[in-house]
């Protein structure tokens, strides 16, 4: 495939960007010139609305971006994903997360039967645990679930479980332990009772250091606290594609839930990796989540590009990164329930798009995926929004809001939340000129000289782009659609950049070096074989460290 920067539409976009820049036109001017801009630059799909009118784009920009999508072969790439082609070329497998939310076995995908059988197995297990029939070693029912996993085996399930707190069954408390820092596990265990605690070891590879260490710690704790070794299977289940390793760890074969190599870790919350979600909210809600994702899959697969939400958002992301020079992207859910959504998106976006070579191994010619960060609004307004408004970096923002409050009450307070959400995107776009700031200060009774001096500090450049996504409310279905939307948006970007969104070779080197450093930290001799900094840090710790008590 042609490198994107050599495509005709790419070059035209480059020229077009320069022309827009030279014209000095601002986003706010585009609204003044066109009273229909909101309706022409927004899309409604089911219970989701995307407003992308507050971006510095014109009809011509959109047309060129859509041409770029065609030229890059996006249509064929979408079909290839749904057809189960080997689109993860470096790992030589398909990326089939869409098959996890297909309600009926799809003959073309060949994996439907396994997916349905796993959902049935999850259903049986969830009912046994929730209804108290799954007993621990002293005959008591389970009341605490601790998911041990990291990356995709943690972030997705943890984010969804937190987001759906409103529907948690009261009899189960779900916790997530990911960090190899033993404090994470110890502090979680501090409040747990071994008689009523169930551990889920979630690891696609069953090879991940953090998960291994934490699982071993959990097993030690269970035994130290009097847990019956003969009944350990009542307290440890696993979700993995590596059955042999799970068996070797001591998990009962009947308690191993399958994963498959055709599901990427960061795309896996829809599989049995979602078991803690299902335990927390029940299988009915879990299936609603899958259904919501399915609705987005169908929208992505079947909707013309000009009304296709993931396509539009993916193209805008390419526009911002590659043409406008935005190196970072803020994710701002105005919903406490979605507090963990930015952290989930960090893995989804940065592990997928943090690449420097194209599919054929040649270097990319433009910036690829941006640095993704953010947190729930309104909290961010009182910390990092200052930089969004007056800093020197161009940072596009995605605002995510809920039309209705989750509990159907506190309507007025929820209205403050929405008002803040909209006021932030408005302020980012409009800004405040020096003259406006000066007049404002005079109207507040400041003397002229002081007002002149202070006005310079109150200038807000404005013209900062943003999208706003509104969900009708936070339901399991809408959450499923929202997550799937970002999965597909990421795929769109990867197709335009001609990179593989489904591998993550970059994380390997740190893992390899980590093993060598562990050996050096636990050796008897002074370390001298690395660089001076690493040697110095290791030797300092060796000399200063206390051992286990
Ligand atoms: O180190 C990165 C990574 O491979 C992620 O891609 C993955 O989600 C995570 O580690 C956990 O992997 P596993 O589920 O195999 O333990």
Ligand 1 centre to CA of 277 (Å) is 19
Active site residue 414: no
Give how far the C-alpha of residue 14 lies from the chain's centroid of Cα atoms, to the nearest Å.
30
Of 153, 213, 249, the one to substitute when testing ligand 1's pocket (max ligand atoms within 8 A of C-beta) is 153
Task: Assess whether pLDDT exceeds 90 at residue 456.
Answer: yes
Q: What is the pLDDT of residue 106?
A: 60
Q: Which of 35-39, 88-92, 107-111, 380-384 has the lowest mean pLDDT?
A: 107-111
* CB proximity list for 105: less than 8 A, separation 6 or greater: 112, 113, 115, 116
Q: What is the pLDDT of residue 113?
A: 86
Task: Please state the rounded mean pLDDT for residues 15-42.
Answer: 97
Whose tokens are 């989804």? That residue is: 348
Q: Which residues line ligand 1 (CB under 6 A)?
A: 150-153, 203-205, 208, 211, 265-266, 351, 504, 507
**pLDDT tier for residue 212 given thresholds of 50, 70 and 90:** very high
Whose tokens are 């930089």? That residue is: 387
Q: What is the pLDDT of residue 4?
A: 87
Cβ–Cβ under 8 Å, residues 464 and 396: yes
Structural tokens at position 318: 């390419």
Q: What is the pLDDT of residue 111?
A: 79
Task: Please state the rounded mean pLDDT for residues 253-278.
Answer: 97
Structural tokens at position 112: 């439907």
Ligand 1 centre to CA of 201 (Å) is 13
CA angle 368, 370, 372 (to 5 degrees): 150
Atom of ligand 1 nearest to the CA of 149: 16
**pLDDT tier for residue 406 given thresholds of 50, 70 and 90:** confident
Of 97, 200, 265, the one to substitute when testing ligand 1's pocket (max ligand atoms within 8 A of C-beta) is 265
Task: Assess whether pLDDT exceeds 80 at residue 375.
Answer: yes
Ligand 1: which residue has its CA nearest to atom 13? 203
Residue whose C-alpha is closest to residue 394's, from 335, 320, 493, 482? 320
* CB proximity list for 123: less than 8 A, separation 6 or greater: 278, 283
**Mean pLDDT of all residues in the chain?**
95
Ligand 1 centre to CA of 150 (Å) is 6
Ligand 1 centre to CA of 372 (Å) is 19
* CB proximity list for 10: less than 8 A, separation 6 or greater: 4, 68, 71
Active site residue 511: yes
76 φ, ψ to 5°?
Answer: -65, -35
- Reported as type and span, the H/E element at residue 401 is strand 397-402
Task: Assess whether pLDDT exceeds 90 at residue 160.
Answer: yes
Q: What is the pLDDT of residue 104?
A: 61
Ligand 1: which residue has its CA nearest to atom 10? 151
Residue 529: other Cβ atoms inside 10 A = 10
Cβ–Cβ under 8 Å, residues 197 and 235: yes
Active site residue 351: yes
**DSSP 3-state percent helix, strand, coil across the chain (nearest 5):** 55, 10, 35
Q: CA-CA distance, 90 to 500, in Å (whole number)?
A: 8
Q: What is the pLDDT of residue 549?
A: 62
DSSP 140: P
One of 195, 288, 349, 351 is an active-site residue; which one?
A: 351
Residue whose C-alpha is closest to residue 63's, from 4, 27, 1, 16? 16
198 φ, ψ to 5°?
Answer: -115, 130
Q: CA-CA distance, 472 to 478, in Å (whole number)?
A: 8
Task: Please state the rounded mean pLDDT for residues 423-441.
Answer: 97
Whose tokens are 């003397």? That residue is: 447
Task: Please state the rounded mean pLDDT for residues 188-198.
Answer: 97
Write the pLDDT tens digit of every residue in 489-527: 999 999 999 999 999 999 989 888 999 999 999 998 899
Atom of ligand 1 nearest to the CA of 240: 14
DSSP 143: -
Count how many Cα atoms sit within 13 Å of the Cα of residue 314 in the half-sphere of its side chain.
31
**pLDDT tier for residue 3 given thresholds of 50, 70 and 90:** confident
**pLDDT tier for residue 547 given thresholds of 50, 70 and 90:** confident
Cis amide bond preceding 339, omega within 30: no
Q: What is the pLDDT of residue 546?
A: 80
- pTM recorded for the entire structure: 0.96
Q: CA-CA distance, 374 to 397, in Å (whole number)?
A: 9
Of 208, 243, 271, 506, the one to substitute when testing ligand 1's pocket (max ligand atoms within 8 A of C-beta) is 208
Ligand 1 centre to CA of 381 (Å) is 33
Whose tokens are 């399930």? That residue is: 157
Q: CA-CA distance, 148 to 214, in Å (whole number)?
A: 7
Task: Please state the rounded mean pLDDT for residues 300-325.
Answer: 97
Task: Please state the rounded mean pLDDT for residues 236-257.
Answer: 95
Task: Assess whether pLDDT exceeds 70 at residue 109.
Answer: no
Structural tokens at position 502: 């489904």
Task: Assess whether pLDDT exceeds 70 at residue 408.
Answer: yes
Task: Assess whether pLDDT exceeds 60 at residue 422.
Answer: yes
Residue 171: other Cβ atoms inside 10 A = 12
Task: Please state the rounded mean pLDDT for residues 221-248.
Answer: 96
**pLDDT tier for residue 299 given thresholds of 50, 70 and 90:** very high
One of 140, 511, 529, 540 is an active-site residue; which one?
A: 511
Q: What is the pLDDT of residue 187?
A: 97
Atom of ligand 1 nearest to the CA of 208: 16
Ligand 1 centre to CA of 151 (Å) is 5
Ligand 1: which residue has its CA nearest to atom 9? 151
Q: CA-CA distance, 294 to 316, in Å (whole number)?
A: 23
In sequence order, what DSSP letters do the residues of 350-387 get, joined into one string?
HHHH--SB-TTSPBPSS--SPEEE---TTGGGGTTHHH
Task: Assess whether pLDDT exceeds 90 at residue 102.
Answer: no
Q: At 305, is the secondary structure helix, strand, or coil?
A: helix
Ligand 1 centre to CA of 463 (Å) is 39
**pLDDT tier for residue 401 given thresholds of 50, 70 and 90:** very high
Q: What is the pLDDT of residue 280?
A: 98
Atom of ligand 1 nearest to the CA of 150: 11
Structural tokens at position 105: 């076995």
Atom of ligand 1 nearest to the CA of 211: 16
Task: Please state the rounded mean pLDDT for residues 442-447.
Answer: 96
In 111-216, beta strands by DSSP E: 144-148, 173-177, 197-202
Q: What percent of the chain has pLDDT over 90?
A: 92
Length, in residues, of the chain: 549
């Amino acid at each position: 495939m042609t490198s994107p920067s050599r495509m005709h539409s790419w070059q035209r976009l480059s020229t077009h960007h320069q022309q827009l820049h030279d014209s000095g036109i601002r986003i706010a001017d585009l609204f003044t010139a066109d009273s229909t801009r909101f309706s022409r630059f927004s899309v409604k799909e089911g219970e989701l609305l995307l407003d992308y009118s507050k971006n510095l784009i014109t009809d011509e920009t959109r047309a060129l971006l859509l041409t770029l999508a065609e030229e890059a072969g996006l249509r064929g790439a979408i079909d290839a994903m749904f057809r189960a082609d080997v689109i993860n070329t470096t790992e030589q497998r398909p990326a089939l997360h869409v098959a996890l939310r297909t309600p009926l076995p799809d003959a073309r995908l060949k994996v439907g039967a396994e997916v349905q059988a796993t959902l049935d197995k999850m259903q049986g297990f969830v009912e046994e645990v929730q209804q108290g029939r799954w007993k621990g070693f002293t005959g008591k029912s389970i009341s605490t679930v601790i998911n041990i996993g990291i990356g995709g085996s943690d972030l997705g399930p943890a984010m969804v479980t937190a987001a759906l707190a409103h529907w948690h069954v009261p009899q189960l408390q779900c916790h997530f332990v990911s960090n190899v820092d033993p404090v994470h596990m110890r502090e979680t265990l501090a409040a747990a009772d071994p008689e009523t605690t169930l551990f889920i070891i979630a690891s696609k590879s069953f090879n991940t250091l953090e998960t291994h260490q934490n699982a071993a710690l959990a097993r030690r704790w269970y035994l130290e606290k009097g847990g019956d070794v003969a009944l350990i299977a009542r307290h440890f289940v696993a979700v993995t594609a590596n059955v042999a390793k799970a068996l070797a760890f001591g998990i009962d074969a009947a308690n191993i839930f399958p994963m498959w190599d055709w599901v990427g870790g960061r795309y896996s919350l829809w599989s049995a990796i979602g078991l803690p979600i299902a335990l927390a909210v029940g299988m009915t809600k879990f299936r609603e989540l899958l259904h919501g994702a399915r609705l987005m899959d169908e929208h992505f697969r079947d909707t013309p590009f000009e009304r296709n939400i993931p396509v539009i958002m993916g193209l805008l992301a390419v526009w911002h990164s590659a043409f406008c020079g935005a190196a970072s992207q803020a994710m701002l859910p105005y919903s406490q329930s979605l507090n963990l959504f930015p952290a989930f998106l960090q893995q989804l976006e940065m592990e997928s798009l943090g690449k420097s070579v194209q599919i054929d191994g040649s270097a990319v010619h433009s910036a690829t995926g941006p640095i993704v960060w953010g947190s729930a609004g309104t909290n961010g307004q009182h910390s990092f929004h200052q930089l969004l408004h007056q800093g020197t970096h161009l940072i596009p923002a995605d605002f995510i809001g809920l039309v209705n409050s989750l509990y159907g009450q506190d309507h007025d307070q929820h209205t403050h939340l929405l008002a803040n959400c909209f006021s932030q995107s408005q302020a980012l776009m409009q800004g405040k000129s020096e003259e406006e700031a000066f007049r404002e200060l005079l109207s507040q009774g400041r003397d002229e000289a002081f007002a002149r001096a202070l006005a310079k500090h109150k200038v807000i450049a404005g013209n900062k782009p943003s999208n706003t996504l509104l969900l009708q409310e936070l339901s399991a279905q809408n959450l499923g659609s929202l997550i799937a939307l970002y999965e597909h948006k990421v795929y769109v970007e990867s197709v335009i950049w001609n990179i593989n969104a489904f591998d993550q070779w970059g994380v390997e080197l740190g893992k390899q070096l980590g093993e060598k450093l562990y050996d050096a930290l636990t050796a008897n001799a002074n370390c001298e074989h690395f660089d001076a900094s690493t040697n110095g840090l290791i030797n300092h710790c060796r000399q200063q460290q206390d051992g286990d008590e």
